[in-house]
Structure 1
Amino acid sequence: MTFSPVAYAKEHVPPAGPQRAYVLGYAMGMLANGVFLPIYVLYCTQIVGISNSGTALAIAVGGLVGLPLTTYAGDLADRLGPRRVVLFGLAGQLTGMGSYVFIQGFWSLLILIVCMNVFAFTYMASEGALMRRIGGAETITFRSQVQSIGNIGLTVGALVSGIGISIGTPWAYRAMFLFCAAAYVVDVFITLRIPDYKPLPKPESTGEAKVRRYIVFRDKPFIAFALVSGALSMSMLVDNMLLPVWIVVYTSAPPWTVAVVYVLNTAMAILLQMRLSRNVKTLRQGGSALLRCGVTLIIGYLMMALMPGQTPILATVLLLGGVAVSAVAQIWLVSGRFVFEFNLPPAHAQGQYDGFLNMITTLSMTVAPLVLLGVVANQGFAGWMGLGVAFLLLGLLGPAIAAWGLRTRPPADAVAEPAAGDEIMATAGMDDSK
């Protein structure tokens, strides 16, 4: 199988219109994130002079402050229109990234992170609602295209950050922060080209049943999915957090393989996301994807758990094989998550459902360092196998949650999704950006 850039573009780039505009804007935002994420901790500790513990405390507190707002922000997207809330989140991240050049110490960093996370969580809670309105009946395919192109932007951004880190001067870092802000400016202007979708009507209350505002808290199948998906999301941090320590401290694999792990994982996501998710459209297929994720993860973790005590060559082979297998598992996880994320919520409440899902996922990511570094790394083979078994059991729940979700959805929900083109025509006359 040969790689064709033209064929890749046809499969991954949506047709001209709101879908392509959103993909391009998202790619610019991910480009900025790819630059920002590797540099902001280094800037705080090496350039500004804030201690490692102080920087970590500011990041942790900022995350906890913004986290409870996610469900509320998603509900705002449902009630005010998703594009407006997305633009609010983008504007705040734009200002926040540019403001890093003014940090003087711990307190200014803490204030900035708290404010920036409010906007970041607002954006994360509302972007799903906007994608559903843009994608219509093809939202799952559209979401996979967004993911694939976003990975490319993130990778390019990481390469750009490497240039600034190599220069290492205060002004090199500041220039990168201003570059991130400029990329978000482009993202904002591209997003303004997307129609200003109006809120969808909610079901009317009757004498016997009153429609509640936060219906996500009563949707047990979705809550179960959010808990399972959030726990499985810990696997996303294995390559970036656990493997570098495992490779350098516990195995004979060359240290340079740490960089190879990141490149291999990202390359597989870029090349295989659309191919592997092509037939993951329904809830049952999404449940099967979560099951395949759990099975594949334990196989990959077994290979990496066997690395200690091996020769450098064999340890490297086991590492690359394990990373490749776990990368496929992560694609299954993302594909299955997309299906549940957009097929379980009613269209008029997509934002609040996404907000709740992001809250659970972020809590899981907060706990992940304690699990991965405090337990798995210290326990060696038993730790890796325990993690793999836990993920396998979570994956086994996927088909059951899918069946539960199907039993509890109103039959009309399966056909109530408006076509993307119909929504664009209906709202184009209301778009103030023209």
Structure 2
Amino acid sequence: MSTDLALWARLRDVLLLQRRETRLLLASVTADSFGTGIFTATSVLFFTTVRGFSVSAVGLAISLGSLCAFFLGPRIGALADRVGPQKSLIVLFGVRAVGYGLYLLAEQYWLFVVLACVVTTADRASPAINQALMGRLFEAKDRATILGTVFSARNGAIVLGSLAATLPVVTGSSALYLVGIGVNAASFIVAALLVARLQVPEAEPAATGRDKERRGGASPLHDRRYLAITVVNGVAQTHNTILSLVLPLWIVHATSSPKWSLTALLALNGALAMAAQVPVNRMFADFSAALRASALGGAAVCAACLAYAGAGAVGDAWVALAVLVVAMLAHTAGESLFIASTPLSFELAPKESLGRYLSFYNLGRVGQDLVGPLLIVGPLVDRGTPIWLLVGVVVLLGGLAPWALLKDDALAANGRSTR
């Protein structure tokens, strides 16, 4: 018993759980992500089978929503810098609660499109504002740990939400689909109430003109370093497109691996990502280490692409499965390493403009959502090995780019930031 208590005490200290703001933040993220897990697993089926929209019509609405998020995200970030990340995040949670709740009434396609634009914009803006809030709550020395803890909590809650969505998916019950949509909407109300209880320090005074010049200007558009890591973030997010869109088609249609291996591999990814993120983040906690994490992440995803291509060339089902397991291990390692490079987006941003800069950085993810499916999914599934090799090399070069560009930067020379 004493050993268990000592282990729990050690874990609590490592994960910063002794701090009230950590517990509230994790509870908020868990509520948000649980609802998201339910919605992600059921949304396409709900809109196509219950509402009767075509798959292409649903895809068009989601694409329009991503386009809105691409243009409005930085403006929401700039607004968050003025009114504060806590208030901004509460408003975004409110918008998401109302928007997803109105999906219950969206029987006309035009209303569905309007709501998709609203909720997708709020969805895509929220992570950057949440990170800006973490930047206000936690010092640089704790930032890698809290980012890893939040990502782990998010992964775990999404998995639980996906499992909860099994019932409506299996039964096809319209009523259960509606319940799932309602639970997702309610989850944002819970998240908003938890964030409202946080005691957030006041923002530090704005940087001087000289400090702004050193950091590359007041706008990320004028900062070549920040533009570079934003583009790299978009390239790095290729691993998400592969995981969510390419693998289901590749495993079922291009490999001899058993069809059940898809869900097993996705479960393996979720479990490993949840377990590994905190220790990986702690290993790459400072600026120079985050540069190495980006480079290693690119190498790992490149290795995964090579293994995925190899799985398509294997005739035996069990050998193909074994190759896919190796690919997923490399894929998960790359995913965790790229997440561990996230502190770069904090360290290169002026603290008084954190919301604007992080929202701009998040455009990499939004851009991948917009163009990734078009540029990657069809070519990978149709042409196989040559495109896998090309994608692997592109991600490898993208991961190496921050290290090549910033390894001699003053922040890298100084090691851990004290901001």
Q: TM-score, normalization: structure 1?
A: 0.88
* Residue ranges of structure 2 left out of the alignment (5+ in a row): none
Q: Please say which of residues 251-260 and 358-367 is displaced more in the overlay.
A: 358-367
Report the Cα distance in structure 2 between the residues aligned to 1:217 and 1:326, rounded to whole angstroms. 31
RMSD between aligned alpha carbons? 2.5
Report the Cα distance in structure 1 between the residues aligned to 2:12 and 2:249, rounded to whole angstroms. 37
SS in 1 for 2:333: helix
The answer for the alignment partner of 1:81 in structure 2 is 84
Find 2:327's aligned residue among 306, 322, 326: 322
Amino acid at match of 1:161: A
The answer for the alignment partner of 1:43 in structure 2 is 46
Shift of 1:407: 6.4
Distance 1:360 1:299, change over 3 A: closer
Find 1:237's aligned residue among 241, 255, 259: 241
1:67 and 1:359 in contact (8 A); partners too? yes
Shift of 1:156: 0.5
Amino acid at match of 2:207: P
SS in 1 for 2:311: coil
Post-superposition Cα deviations, 1:254-279, rounded to whole Å, max 9, x if no partner, equal 11111112101001101111122222
Report the Cα distance in structure 2 between the residues aligned to 1:169 and 1:238, rounded to whole angstroms. 30
Find 1:222's aligned residue among 226, 231, 242: 226
Distance 1:293 1:49, change over 3 A: same
Amino acid at match of 1:63: S
Shift of 1:9: 5.9
Find 1:284's aligned residue among 284, 288, 305: 288
2:28 and 2:194 in contact (8 A); partners too? yes
Shift of 1:357: 0.9
Q: Structure 2 matches for 1:158-197, cutoff 5 A?
A: 158-197=162-201
Report the Cα distance in structure 2 between the residues aligned to 1:288 and 1:232, rounded to whole angstroms. 14
SS in 2 for 1:377: helix
Distance 1:9 1:316, change over 3 A: farther
Report the Cα distance in structure 2 between the residues aligned to 1:233 and 1:205, rounded to whole angstroms. 34
- Equivalent pairs: percent with the same residue? 22
Report the Cα distance in structure 2 between the residues aligned to 1:101 and 1:141, rounded to whole angstroms. 38
Q: Structure 2 matches for 1:80-229, cutoff 5 A?
A: 80-137=83-140, 138-205=142-209, 214-229=218-233
Report the Cα distance in structure 2 between the residues aligned to 1:369 and 1:321, rounded to whole angstroms. 24
SS in 1 for 2:258: coil
Post-superposition Cα deviations, 1:80-115, rounded to whole Å, max 9, x if no partner, equal 111000101111111112111101131110011122
Amino acid at match of 1:332: L
1:225 and 1:401 in contact (8 A); partners too? no
1:344 and 1:405 in contact (8 A); partners too? no
Report the Cα distance in structure 2 between the residues aligned to 1:48 and 1:329, rounded to whole angstroms. 38
SS in 2 for 1:185: helix
1:85 and 1:126 in contact (8 A); partners too? yes
2:293 and 2:337 in contact (8 A); partners too? yes
SS in 2 for 1:40: helix
Shift of 1:303: 1.7
2:252 and 2:259 in contact (8 A); partners too? yes
2:288 and 2:412 in contact (8 A); partners too? no
SS in 2 for 1:278: helix
Distance 1:120 1:23, change over 3 A: same
SS in 2 for 1:307: helix
Q: Please say which of residues 193-202 and 258-267 is displaced more in the overlay.
A: 193-202
2:100 and 2:184 in contact (8 A); partners too? yes
Find 1:293's aligned residue among 283, 293, 297: 297
Q: Please say which of residues 72-81 and 213-222 is displaced more in the overlay.
A: 213-222
Post-superposition Cα deviations, 1:6-44, rounded to whole Å, max 9, x if no partner, equal 476664462231122111111110111111111111111
2:38 and 2:164 in contact (8 A); partners too? yes
The answer for the alignment partner of 1:335 in structure 2 is 340
Distance 1:394 1:205, change over 3 A: closer
Report the Cα distance in structure 2 between the residues aligned to 1:316 and 1:205, rounded to whole angstroms. 57
The answer for the alignment partner of 1:389 in structure 2 is 393
Q: How many residues align?
A: 410
The answer for the alignment partner of 1:310 in structure 2 is 315
The answer for the alignment partner of 1:264 in structure 2 is 268
Amino acid at match of 1:319: L
Shift of 1:408: 10
Report the Cα distance in structure 2 between the residues aligned to 1:405 and 1:350, rounded to whole angstroms. 20
Distance 1:9 1:173, change over 3 A: farther
The answer for the alignment partner of 1:421 in structure 2 is none
1:14 and 1:142 in contact (8 A); partners too? no
The answer for the alignment partner of 1:275 in structure 2 is 279
Report the Cα distance in structure 2 between the residues aligned to 1:252 and 1:189, rounded to whole angstroms. 49
Shift of 1:118: 3.3
Report the Cα distance in structure 1 between the residues aligned to 2:145 and 2:272, rounded to whole angstroms. 18
Report the Cα distance in structure 1 between the residues aligned to 2:348 and 2:336, rounded to whole angstroms. 20
The answer for the alignment partner of 1:426 in structure 2 is none
Amino acid at match of 1:104: E
Shift of 1:196: 4.3
* Residue ranges of structure 1 left out of the alignment (5+ in a row): 418-434
